[in-house]
Every structure is written in C-alpha cells, then in structure tokens.
Amino acid sequence: MLSKPSYLNFDNESYPWKPDIDYCKHPERYRVGKGEQGVLICEPYKSEIGQYWRFKTPGIAKQSSEKIYQMFQTYLADNDFVGADMARKYLQMGYTRARRYANYKGGKKYDKANDFRPLERGTGEAEKAESAKIFYGKWKSAEANVQYAALKKRWKSEKG
C-alpha cells in the first residue's frame, strides 16, 4: 500500500489548533503536539515568526534561522512558552522543508496526477541540503535549551 499525503481527507474539526484563537491572549488553548503541528495556524506567532522564515539559499537560511532562534530566546526570556515552541517549530520546519526541496525537484513529494504516488528522490537542489543543515543546528539548539525543555515538559503534563 502506498502512503499518501496526510493533508488528504484532513479533518479540520478535530485538529486542536484553530486559526481564530489568539494564542497570546489564550495560551491555555495551545497544545504542543508532534513536530510542526499548528505552526501555520497559531496567531499571532505565525505572523510574528513566519515573516522571517526563509531557506532559498544557505545565506538566507543562516539569516532566517538566526533571527528565529533569537526570537525563541526572547520568548523564553519573556516566559512565553507558546512563542518559544512556535519558534522551535519554525526552526524544525526550516529543516524539513529545505530537506524536501533537497530531495525532490520543486519540493513536490507526491504526483497529484498519478494517484499521489511518491515521486523520485534525488531530483532536488543540493543547495537546499545546506540550508537544511543550518536550520537543523538551530532547531537542535532550541530543543536542547534547558529552560525550554523544562517548560515543555511541564506544559505537556499540565495542558497537553
């Protein structure tokens, strides 16, 4: 059986992150989730952080990841776990999306016209692999931050 993209038959109703919630005003409604879940939905963080998220070239990825990591540190200094977690998710997404573009031409993993069959790997841009490495380092630095790890553990046990 071929695996198909997770966005097919997506159930918006059961998805815990909602675009109409201001997670700065209502942080208690935020859920950590797995990986990058909610990263392109949770406002105002999506707008605050997303404007800096770029990975087209290694130089751009370096600037972007450094800015987002600085925002991560600022959110932690402000004791804003939701902001810090969202910044961490953008760093992770910088890695995963750049890797996808490194692996697949145009970043397209599935062939929509052919029942979403996976496309051939190794057709992407080598430059994106460098961008991915840059984001990977910042993502792992964020995850290794002792204050962040403690806040995340407490948040998950108390709120999910």
pLDDT of residue 127: 92
Give the Cα separation of 154 and 57 in Å (integer): 37
| Rounded Cα distance, 20 and 32, in Å | 17
The position carrying tokens 């080598």 is: 126
- Supply the pLDDT for residue 85: 98
Residue 123's pLDDT is 76
Does 11 map to a domain? Answer: no
Residue 79 forms part of a structural domain: yes
Q: Given this model, what pLDDT does residue 23 score?
A: 96
Domain tally for the chain? Answer: 1
The whole-angstrom separation of Cα 72 and Cα 143 is: 11
In a domain, 128, yes or no: yes
Q: Write out the chain's pLDDT in tens, 160 residues.
A: 456 666 666 677 778 889 999 999 999 999 998 899 999 999 999 999 999 999 999 999 999 999 999 999 999 999 999 999 999 999 999 999 999 989 888 777 777 777 777 777 777 788 999 999 999 999 999 999 999 999 999 999 998 7
Number of other CB atoms surrounding residue 119 within 10 Å: 16
- Residue 94: give the domain boundaries: 35-158
pLDDT for the residue 152: 96
DSSP for the chain? -----TTTT--TTT-S--TT-BTTT-GGG----STTTTTTT-BTHHHHHHTT---SSHHHHHHHHHHHHHHHHHHHHTT-HHHHHHHHHHHHHHHHHHHHHHHSGGG--EEGGGTTEEPPSS-S-HHHHHHHHHHHHHHHHHHH-HHHHHHHHHHHHHT-
Q: Is the residue at 66 inside a domain?
A: yes
| Structural domain includes residue 3 | no
